[in-house]
């Protein structure tokens, strides 16, 4: 239970932006702050590393990943390869119930405030969940559980990069991007929907370059 509590605290702190990209995560400091043993902290850190929210560095302990980490571009490449294909299938196969779910998911996303007092400098938990639900719902019309599992894994792996990107591109009109995705999907325009999704993913990755 102690390890679970420390893990949850550490994960939330990284997601909120309490630790800067590349910042060290010192087990001794965390143990003192949380009032637990080093063994408990190390167990929690290993879980955070497993989720891609921290790196285990040889002879240097643990640290939050850096902006320049190659993994973010690799995840984006994978998403740009897989998700437009799944979206095309979804547009072709989705039924009326799928259309209704897409519209409802977009409505929820559009009506959820991106930022919330007390939740740090990144997107709020409510907005992040609405965002995930909208993107997943767009793809659910494909009817392929294996492809949707692949989406779930890639989404989880890219959550931290997505939050960083939002702070580096304050002028980006994500509202218009999501509206465009909804419109193309519901108009059954698979080509436009796929093109807009690729651009959406590319803009997120580009914010972490340089």
The predicted pLDDT at position 138 comes to 98
Separation between Cα atoms, residue 189 and residue 186, nearest integer Å: 8
The predicted pLDDT at position 2 comes to 87
The predicted pLDDT at position 163 comes to 85
pTM of the model: 0.84
CA distance to 22, 23, 181, per residue, from 18 (Å): 12, 10, 32
The predicted pLDDT at position 140 comes to 98
Quick one: CA dihedral 187, 114, 169, 134, positive or negative? negative
How would you write the pLDDT of the chain (210 residues) with one tens digit per residue?
A: 888 999 999 998 988 888 988 999 999 999 999 999 999 999 999 999 988 889 998 877 899 988 777 888 899 999 999 999 999 999 999 999 999 999 999 999 999 998 888 776 778 889 999 999 999 999 999 999 999 999 999 998 888 888 888 777 778 899 999 999 999 999 999 999 999 999 999 998 888 775
**How big is the chain, counted in residues?**
210
| φ, ψ dihedrals at 55, nearest 5° | -115, 145
Separation between Cα atoms, residue 115 and residue 123, nearest integer Å: 5
The predicted pLDDT at position 125 comes to 86
The predicted pLDDT at position 210 comes to 56
The predicted pLDDT at position 66 comes to 86
The predicted pLDDT at position 58 comes to 83
């Amino acid at each position: 239970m102690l390890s679970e509590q420390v893990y949850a605290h550490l994960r939330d702190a990284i997601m909120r932006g309490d630790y800067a990209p590349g910042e060290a995560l010192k087990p001794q400091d965390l143990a003192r702050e949380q009032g637990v043993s080093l063994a408990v902290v190390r167990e929690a850190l290993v879980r955070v590393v497993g989720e891609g929210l921290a790196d285990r560095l040889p002879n240097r302990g643990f640290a939050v990943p850096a902006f320049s980490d190659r993994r973010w571009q690799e995840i984006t490449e994978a998403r740009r390869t897989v998700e437009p294909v799944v979206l095309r299938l979804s547009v072709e196969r989705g039924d009326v119930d799928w259309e209704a779910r897409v519209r409802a998911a977009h409505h929820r996303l559009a009506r959820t405030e991106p930022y919330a007092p007390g939740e740090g400098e990144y997107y709020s938990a409510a907005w992040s969940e609405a965002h995930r639900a909208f993107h997943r719902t767009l793809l659910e019309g494909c009817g392929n559980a294996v492809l949707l599992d692949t989406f779930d894994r890639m989404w989880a792996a890219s959550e931290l990069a997505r939050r960083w990107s939002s702070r580096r591109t304050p002028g980006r009109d994500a509202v218009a991007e999501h509206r465009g995705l909804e419109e193309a999907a519901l108009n059954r325009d698979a080509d436009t929907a796929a093109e807009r999704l690729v651009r959406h993913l590319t803009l997120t990755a580009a914010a972490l370059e340089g």
